Amino acid sequence: MYVLYRHPASVPVALAIVASLALPGCGSMDEKPPAAEHLVDPNATAETRALFENLRALAADHVLFGHQDALAYGIGWSGDPGRSDVKDVAGSHPAVYGWDVGDLEHGASRNLDGVNFGLMREWIREGYGRGGVITVSWHMDNPASGGDAWDTTPGASSILPGGEHHGKYRTWLDRFANWVPTEVPIIFRPFHEHTGNWFWWGRESATAEEYRHLWQFTVEYLRDVKGLRNLLYCYAPDIVDSPAQYLERYPGDDYVDVLAYDDYWALNSDAGAAVMAGRLRMLVTMAEERGKLAALAETGLDGIGDEDWWTNRLLRAIKSDPVGRRIAWVLVWRNARTDHHFAPYPGHRSAEDFVAFHDDPFTLFEDDLPDLYQPLSR
């Protein structure tokens, strides 16, 4: 849909132009975008670093579209090779693939939603192989009570160093490190929506200090003990309405590469687009001040009741603010059932509008992507 990105040979030039035109502080076409000097992992793989830099350049003028579990199943099918509901409707896979490793902590063969972990690893490689972006969340069970992620029994302090379940938590992280395909750059988004009160790491179950320590320990363990070099770390609270609230539990610039948030609240009504635009503006401002990426890590309307939700709600909200529009990606949740889905499928009431959303030059699907894993030319 956007010719500039269709020709691999022109990509480095195109990226440099996009970045120099639109990144703050880059006044002329000769200037280079600022270097990504502050990744959480200073020894991240070249591909991981390139992903960060390319996403930062693309975010100036585009948003990548993502879908959870896209390759695993959709409405009326499961495990069909090369298939996604997004591709069935729009002709291209999403640009971003979300996966969740809930239950990997127990060494289970399938995640909490029944996705086989061996196949998930292959789908991650497949999406990456086509140039897509991979992000992983973790609906981790409650380490203290044995309940699920939604069991709000306090658990964070018990897995910190010195805590009763600390050894168990190390084992859980070991299982993640053993499973994750280390050659694939992955945007890792643990302990999300923590400003809500529905997870055991949420605001009513963990103090701000416990949350920060849990995050910092997790990063240091995966990076320094397990030696994972392929992770970018994404911090994603639920909706908040001030920078102070956003940063209350923030573990620090040394521990976060992507400032994101989840928002299932704003886009249920027409008026909500302005609310979301304001939140995105706040998010992008905080991210750019720190040299980080910004993203709308999860959003959507379950069932997508409005025919024009994609262009008139989501895209309008993202595009409407000149700062807020500089998020790198937006991801919608999984297509589990006809009564629980966030992307269209063939015959869906919003399918036609989704094609228009795909065709808009602002959105990038997999068929629009440049090589995100090659260093940005300087």
CA distances from 126 to 70, 72, 177, 192, 221 (A): 12, 12, 19, 26, 27
Cβ atoms of residues 21 and 27 within 8 Å: no
CB 343 to ligand BMA: min, Å: 13
Q: Is 238 in the site for ligand BMA (CB under 6 A)?
A: no
CB 80 to ligand BMA: min, Å: 20
> In whole angstroms, what is the distance from residue 328 CA to residue 297 CA?
10
CA 79 to chain centre: 23
DSSP 3: G
Q: State which residue, 208 or 336, has the beta carbon closest to ligand BMA.
A: 336
Q: State which residue, 148 or 308, has the beta carbon closest to ligand BMA.
A: 148
Q: State which residue, 139 or 203, has the beta carbon closest to ligand BMA.
A: 139
CB atoms within 10 A of CB 159: 25
Q: Is 88 in the site for ligand BMA (CB under 6 A)?
A: no
CB 215 to ligand BMA: min, Å: 20
Cβ atoms of residues 118 and 79 within 8 Å: no
> In whole angstroms, what is the distance from residue 331 CA to residue 134 CA?
11
Tokens of 347: 């015959």
> In whole angstroms, what is the distance from residue 175 CA to residue 25 CA?
43
The dihedral sign for the CA sequence 228, 229, 231, 232: positive
Q: Is 326 in the site for ligand BMA (CB under 6 A)?
A: no
Q: Is 292 in the site for ligand BMA (CB under 6 A)?
A: no
Scanning 170-178, 219-227, 316-324, 330-338 for contacts with ligand BMA by CB under 6 A, the matching segment is: 330-338
Q: State which residue, 172 or 342, has the beta carbon closest to ligand BMA.
A: 342
The yes-or-no answer on residue 37 being catalytic is no
> In whole angstroms, what is the distance from residue 218 CA to residue 322 CA?
35
Tokens of 99: 């996966």
CB 334 to ligand BMA: min, Å: 5
Q: Is 248 in the site for ligand BMA (CB under 6 A)?
A: no
Q: Which of 1, 4, 17, 112 binds ligand BMA (CB under 6 A)?
A: 112
> In whole angstroms, what is the distance from residue 199 CA to residue 181 CA?
27
Alpha helices in 235-310 (DSSP H): 243-247, 272-289
Beta pairing partners, 260:
295
> In whole angstroms, what is the distance from residue 80 CA to residue 77 CA?
7
Q: Which positions from 8 to 37 touch ligand BMA by CB under 6 A, shown as an x/- string?
A: ------------------------------
> In whole angstroms, what is the distance from residue 322 CA to residue 355 CA?
24
Q: Is 301 in the site for ligand BMA (CB under 6 A)?
A: no
Q: State which residue, 89 or 115, has the beta carbon closest to ligand BMA.
A: 115
Q: Which positions from 130 to 159 touch ligand BMA by CB under 6 A, shown as an x/- string?
A: ---------x--------------------
CB 238 to ligand BMA: min, Å: 12
Scanning 89-97, 247-255, 272-280, 331-339 for contacts with ligand BMA by CB under 6 A, the matching segment is: 331-339
The yes-or-no answer on residue 193 being catalytic is yes
* SS3 category, 106: helix
> In whole angstroms, what is the distance from residue 264 CA to residue 279 CA?
13
Applying CB under 6 A, what is the total number of residues that bind ligand BMA?
Answer: 7
The active-site residue out of 193, 210, 288, 366 is 193
Q: Is 113 in the site for ligand BMA (CB under 6 A)?
A: yes
CB 339 to ligand BMA: min, Å: 11
Burial of 293 (0-12, 13-18, 19+ CB in 10 A): buried
CB 150 to ligand BMA: min, Å: 9
Q: State which residue, 189 or 334, has the beta carbon closest to ligand BMA.
A: 334
Q: State which residue, 100 or 210, has the beta carbon closest to ligand BMA.
A: 100
Given the rule CB under 6 A, which residues bind ligand BMA?
Answer: 100, 112-113, 139, 333-334, 336
The catalytic residue positions are: 193, 298
